[in-house]
Amino acid sequence: MFSQPLTTLPTRLNAEAAGGPGELEGLPEWDFSALYAAPDDEKLTADLDWLAGETKGFRSDYEGQLAEKSPDALATCIQRYEGIQTVMGRVMSYAGLRYYQNTTDPQRAKFMSDMQDRITAISADLVFFSLEMNRIEDERYTMLIDQSAELRRYKPVLDRMRAMKPYQLSDELEQFLHDQSVVGAAAWNRLFDETMAGLEFEVSGEMLPLEATLNLLTDTDRAKREAATHALIAVFREHLPLFARITNTLAKEKEIEDRWRKLPTPQASRHLSNHVEPEVVQALRDAVVAAYPRLSHRYYALKAKWLGLDTMQVWDRNAPLPTADDRVIGWDEAKDTVLDAYAGFDPKMAELAEPFFTEGWIDAPVKPGKAPGAFAHPTVTDAHPFVMLNYLGKQRDVMTLAHELGHGVHQRLAAKQGELLSSTPLTLAETASVFGEMLTFKKLLAQTTEPEKRKALIASKVEDMINTVVRQIAFYDFEVKLHDARRQGELTPDDINAIWMSVQAESLGPVFEFVEGYETFWSYIPHFIHSPFYVYAYAFGDGLVNALYAVYEEGDPEFREKYFAMLEAGGSKHHKELLAPFGLDASDPKFWDKGLSVIEGLIDELEAMEA
Total Cβ atoms within 10 A of residue 213: 24
Query: How many domains is the chain built from?
Result: 1
| Mean pLDDT for the stretch of residues 542-567 | 92
**What's the rounded Cα separation, in Å, for the pair 33 and 286?**
46
Per the domain annotation, does 558 fall within a domain?
Answer: no
Beta carbons of 86 and 417 less than 8 angstroms apart:
no
For residue 132, tell me if it sits in a domain: yes
Q: What is the dihedral of CA 368, 372, 374, 377, to 10 degrees?
A: -80
DSSP 3-state percent helix, strand, coil across the chain (nearest 5) = 70, 5, 30
User: 324 lies in a domain?
Assistant: no
The amino acid at 363: D
Going by pLDDT thresholds of 50, 70 and 90, the confidence category of residue 611 is: low
pLDDT at 20: 39
276, part of any domain: no
State yes or no: pLDDT of 18 exceeds 70: no
Mean pLDDT of 119-148: 94
Per-residue pLDDT averaged across 324-344, rounded?
92
Phi, psi angle pair for 203, to nearest 5°: -125, 115
- Residue 74: give its domain's CATH number: 1.20.140.70
Q: Average pLDDT, whole number, for the chain?
A: 91
pLDDT value for 9: 43
Q: What angle do CA 117, 123, 126 make, to 5 degrees?
A: 160
239-276 in b/e burial notation, b at 16+ Cβ within 10 A? Answer: bbeebbebbbbbbbebbebbeebebeebbbbbbbbbbb
Let me know if residue 451 belongs to a domain: no
Residue type, 575: H
497 phi-psi bin (left φ>0, alpha ψ -120 to 50, beta other): alpha
Q: Is 78 exposed, middle or buried (CB count within 10 Å of its CB: 0-12, 13-18, 19+)?
A: buried
Residue 232 in any domain: the answer is no
Helix (H) or strand (E) holding 578: helix 575-579
pLDDT at 331 over 70: yes
Q: How far apart are CA 158 and CA 267, in angstroms?
A: 21
Cα within 13 Å of Cα(553), Cβ side: 11
* Distance from C-alpha of 156 to C-alpha of 151, rounded to nearest angstrom: 10
Compute how many other C-beta atoms are within 10 angstroms of the C-beta atom of residue 123. Answer: 20
Which residue(s) pair with 12 in the sheet?
A: 374
User: Which CA distances in Å does 224 have to 216, 219, 220, 221, 265?
Assistant: 7, 7, 8, 5, 43
**Would you list the DSSP string of 92-125?**
HHHHHHHHHH-TT-HHHHHHHHHHHHHHHHHHGG
Mean local confidence (pLDDT), 453-470: 92
pLDDT in the model for residue 321: 85
125 located within any domain: yes
The boundaries of the domain holding residue 106 are 6-186
Mean pLDDT within 383-405: 94
Strands 362-363 and 375-377: what pairing?
unpaired
- Separation of CA 336 from chain center: 25
Q: Is residue 597 part of a domain?
A: no
Across 29-33, 167-171, 193-197, least confident range: 167-171
